[in-house]
Amino acid sequence: MLTGLYIYFFFLPGIILSQETDSLKTEDREKEKVHYETEDVVISGTRNPEKIVDIPYSVFKTDKKEMKYARNVSVKDILNDVPGLFLQSRYGSHDVRISIRGYGSRSNSGIRGIRMLLDGIPETDPDGETNIDAIDYTSLEAVEVAKGNLSSLYANAPGGVINFITDLGFKNNFLKLTNEFGSYQLRQNGLKTGLIKKNYRFFLSYSYRNFNGFRNHSNEYINLVNSVFQIYPDARTTFSVLGNFASGLIKLPGALTREEYENDPYKAYATAVSSDFKRDLQKGRIAVRYNTSFGNKNENDFELTGYGKVYNLQATTNTLYTYSDKNVYGAFIKFVNKSSIFSKKNQFSTGIDYAFANGPISSYANINGKKGDDLQQQNKEALTNFGIYIQDQFYIYKDKSAIFFAGRYDNMKYQNDNMLFGLQNSQRKFNRFTPKIALNYKLTPLIALYTSYGYAFDTPAAAELENYPYSSNNGLTTLNPDLNPQKSKNFELGIKGNFSDRKIELEKAFFEVTLFNTIVDDEIVPFVINDKTYFRNAATTTRTGVETGVKIEMFEGLEVQANYTFANFNYDKYNAVSYSSGGDTINENYSGNAVPSVPKHLVNFILNYEVKLNKNFTGLLLADMDYVGSMFVDDKNSQSVSDYYYANFLIGANAVFDKFNVLVSGGMNNIFDRKYVGFININANPELPESARRYFEPGEPRSYYLGINLGYTF
């Protein structure tokens, strides 16, 4: 099966890999049949609005119509079919591990190695870790994904950038009620409204989600708010206020041993129940942004953004009941100049990013899920990230060929003070300059070759720097003295674009192929001792792979999309130290082993048929199948999980009655009720016998959902 798919993708004429550029700017369908433009702008990819065909990276944009009908409960619901993305859902809708070219695969909680934005505002903390609990997926218009090394533009972004975009594309005032019901007592209800006038635009959404989850002790209750207010003082200037808020409770079922998984995959880890593993969170953010352009031909753009976030968290483990209060402050400035050098087009941009986070972390004894009276530990942490970048895009030959130069300097500082025992106070500092060069050559106005080579610098997150008893200083300081940033050298070569050819009777086709090779030094990998995750540096890793895909509109309304990702990731040099239950060291050589939790083969196949019966009634039918190859669960490659596939389908209809509209959709996930491991708890419990190690968390079984949305425009 896989050999056939591999041949299909690599010998299909043109190797047409789809880059989903669905928001075509043409005025009517007839023009669309003759000429297609890749006019989608992707803010996240280059920090400047660019046509996709002009960006020398792999870029993807989600399909708005699919998001409109889909079950928007988890980030996996909207990003699972992006070529090259691998998502593992740990507890249903939360703690989704997002991996791009291996970056992010090491995280057992939160998102690492990928810069996460909401409307261009960082959701990622200054240390590079992201929690996306505050993103309301029902409020989005699209998601932009720029894959590959972007460390020359963003801090801690060796895997790329994901930008969630609020639905601001409305042309009339509207009010919409959203309702969704499904298996495992899923209930998601919300309200969205948008107001638009000549000189302002306002959007507000609220949603409440109640979900018992498909495992014991995995229920969640969360309230989400997202809002954007934009003012247009003149044709050149925009002033924006952006805010979001989340408040909720999430129960965590924990990981299972292989025997537990085989016998009852949807049970909870007994200690997770008795100790009441959970997260009780309140999170809010407000940002203010000023954009303007100036010059005789508006050749200069300037942006100034400031933001503040508050994050209050109660979390439990098997031994601790922890309170964490974090305040984050940040700002960034960007300047872009478009001019000519030696009669050649040139675009220069530069910017400064600053982010600071601080707050106390207090831990008490966890007594059967209740907070004990005795304070076990109290720390105060402060994180600072300062970065400055430059980028230049110079067109060598007309509009066909451009060379890109980019570079970024980052300075990271971590301070962690033990409020009960000051002798443990410690500080770590990391800094580095990461350059990148790229070339883009357009074979036609709609098809481009691109290549790039650059360096990446990925610092540990604050949680990853936590010290442990067997470090070189035996845990005497708060921060691990042995853990250092991972560094990498990244190369990619690709082709992307779209075409239409009446000879083969295609309405349109989008495609992309990207080959990449990455060498990672001092790769940061997790390991678990007594149910607690710590991190260490492996030596050197080589990652080689191919991302391919194709999206073809066979005839009006019928789209076929297929994606295939091949990943060959191995440790070149890795001398590891593990620990027995008594703390004795065991030296092991993992050189030549495969990187865990990364499938060698990943396949998506999507069939999408949209039918327009008349101007007031539209229907959608979508079916997709995902195949995920086998994976190892630890650096030792001692155990693996089997490959698996599952299929989903979605059907929906949208009816418009003058100013009212009704959208009804429903679907089934995992149609054949396949049993599979949905999340791997990497390097779990090395001090225990293999049979007692908790590597496994099950994927979602068969589930159903139904959505009913009522809208009114005015």
CATH classification of the domain holding 20? 2.40.170.20
Dihedral over Cα of 259, 261, 263, 267: its sign: positive
Predicted confidence at residue 42, as pLDDT, reads: 63
Would you say residue 40 has pLDDT above 70?
no
pLDDT digits (tens, 9 = 90+) for 49-90: 888 889 998 988 887 777 889 888 889 889 988 999 999 987
Q: Which residues contact 415 (CB under 8 A, 6 or more apart)?
A: 381, 382, 383, 425, 426, 427
Q: Residue 32: what pLDDT?
A: 38
Q: How sure is the predictor about 555, in pLDDT bands with cuts at 50, 70 and 90?
A: confident
Task: State residue 613 phi and psi, 5-degree precision.
Answer: -70, -35
| Tokens 């302002």 belong to residue | 200
**Per-residue CA distances from 61 to 234, 291, 477, 516 (Å):** 30, 23, 45, 20
Give dist(CA 277, CA 227) in Å, integer: 31
Q: Which residue has the higher pLDDT, 422 or 249?
A: 249
Q: What is the pLDDT of residues 418-451, one digit of tens each?
A: 999 888 999 999 999 999 999 999 999 889 999 9
Specify whether the CB–CB gap between 145 and 160 falls below 8 A.
yes
SS3 content of the chain, % helix, strand, coil (to 5): 10, 60, 30
E-strand ranges in 257-399 read 278-294, 300-316, 320-341, 344-367, 370-397
Q: At a CB cut-off of 8 Å and minimum separation 6, what does 342 contact? A: none
553, β-bridge pairs: 508, 559
Q: Is residue 681 within a helix (H) or strand (E), and if so which, with residue range?
A: none
Identify whether 31 is part of a domain: yes
Output the average pLDDT for the chain.
Answer: 89
Decide: residue 218, CB within 10 A, 0-12 exposed, 13-18 middle, 19+ buried: buried
6 is a domain residue? no
For 120-176, write each residue's pLDDT tens digit. 999 999 999 998 889 999 999 999 999 999 999 999 999 999 999 999 999 999 999
How far apart, in whole angstroms, are the C-alpha atoms of residue 599 and residue 90? 16
Which pTM value belongs to this model?
0.91
The answer, yes or no, to whether residue 306 has pLDDT greater than 80, is yes
Q: What is the pLDDT of residue 49?
A: 82
Contacts of residue 428, defined as CB under 8 A and 6 or more positions apart, other chains included, come to 413, 414, 465, 479
The band of 48, judged by pLDDT with boundaries at 50, 70 and 90, is confident
Question: Is residue 2 assigned to a domain?
Answer: no
Name residues whose C-beta falls within 8 Å of residue 5's C-beta, 6 or more positions apart in sequence. Answer: 564, 603
For position 500, what pLDDT does the model report? 62
Neighbours of 35 (CB within 10 A): 12
CA distance 367 to 357: 30
Domain membership flag for residue 451? yes
* Closest to 465 measured CA to CA, from 402, 508, 419, 526: 526
pLDDT at residue 110 is higher than 70: yes
Distance CA 707, CA 137 (A): 14
Cα dihedral: 40, 45, 48, 50 (round 10): -30
Hey, what are 442's tokens?
A: 């357009």
Asked if residue 571 belongs to a domain, the reply is yes
- The answer to whether residue 250 sits within a structural domain is yes
Helix (H, G, I), strand (E, B) or coil at 617: strand
Q: Which amino acid is at 568?
A: N
- Of 509, 512, 620, the C-alpha closest to 64 is 620
Calpha distance 67→77 (Å, rounded): 9
- Which pLDDT belongs to residue 125? 94
588 found inside a domain? yes
Instruction: With H, G, I as helix, E, B as strand and everything else as coil, classify residue 24.
Output: coil
Question: Is residue 507 situated within a structural domain?
Answer: yes
- pLDDT over 80 at 648, yes or no: yes
Of 126, 22, 145, whose CA–CA distance to 561 is shortest? 22
| Region 220-236 average pLDDT | 96
Query: Could you give the number of structural domains in the chain?
Result: 1
Are the CB atoms for 565 and 548 separated by under 8 Å? yes
Q: Which domain holds residue 321?
A: 14-713
In the predicted model, is pLDDT for residue 313 greater than 90?
yes
Residue pair 307/332 in contact (Cβ under 8 Å)? The answer is no
